[in-house]
Structure 1
Amino acid sequence: MNEKYVTADAALYLGLKPGTLQIWRTLKHSPAPAYVKMGSRVYYLKKDLDAYIESQRVEAV
C-alpha cells in the first residue's frame, strides 16, 4: 500500500508551505500534485508526490 500524507507532511516532503498546497487545490489550472479527498480530509500519496517532483525536473542543456 502506498503511503499517504496529510497536507502539512506533503508540504514538508516537497519543501513547500502547507498554505501553498491549499491554495493550489483551489486553482483551476493548478501546478499541484494529485491528491485524494476522503470526506473533508485531503491526502497526498507518496507516489503522486514523487511523480510531481519528477515532473518539475529540468534537464541542463
Structure 2
Amino acid sequence: MRIMAQLEAREVPLHKVFCSDYDFRIPDYQRPYAWQPEQAQQLLADLEEAPPAGRRRALLPRTPPV
C-alpha cells in the first residue's frame, strides 16, 4: 500500500506563489488544456471580488449557469 504525503494548506501573499520559492509541476494529463479569454476574465473577476486582506471567506467553487 502506498502512503500519500499529507497536504498542508496555509495562506501566502500572491506574489510569493509566483516567485522561485515554489516549484509547480503540471501533470501530463493537464498539459493540453489552454485557457480561453472567458476563463481569464472570470479569474480576474474572482480576484476583484476577493475580500480585503485579513478577512476570510469560504472557498467555494463557482458553478456554471444552467
TM-score with structure 1 setting the length: 0.29
Which one has a bigger Cα radius of gyration? 2
Tell me which protein shows more helix as a share of its residues.
1
Larger strand share, 1 or 2:
1
Higher relative contact order (CA 8 A, sep 6+): 1
Q: TM-score, normalised by structure 2?
A: 0.27
